[in-house]
Amino acid sequence: MRKKRAAKIKPSAVQQALDIPEIARRDVPHIEMQGNREVLVDGCRGVLEYTADQIKLNAGICVIRFSGEDLTIRAYSENQTEINGEILQIDFEN
């Protein structure tokens, strides 16, 4: 059985014509930080790893890794993930 590959989603002709910013597109994750103690991620499709010093989230087009100390997932829903703790580093993996 063939595995389906996730296609990279490109902006539609309408999005390009209207010059809609990437942040308004549904397939692009949106990240908001409040200092280095709280981060909100819209567009999370799953938690890949969860420890006190590292949290990896599947964001569809990439994997986002948060590194730090005393990290916790305070809230997780279909729409938004909230991470708390001392966030020291954020990495993006393709």
Residue 79: pLDDT band by 50, 70, 90 thresholds? confident
CATH code (residue 36): 2.60.40.2000
> Would 24 be classed as within a structural domain?
no
Global pTM reads 0.73
Q: CA 10 to CA 18: how far, in whole Å? A: 14
Residue 88: pLDDT band by 50, 70, 90 thresholds? very high
> Would 61 be classed as within a structural domain?
yes
Q: Is the dihedral of CA 82, 49, 51, 88 positive or negative?
A: negative
pLDDT digits (tens, 9 = 90+) for 24-58: 556 788 999 999 999 999 989 999 999 999 999 99
Residue 18: pLDDT band by 50, 70, 90 thresholds? confident
Higher-confidence residue: 3 or 73? Answer: 73
Number of domains forming the structure of the chain: 1
Residues spanned by the domain of 33:
29-93
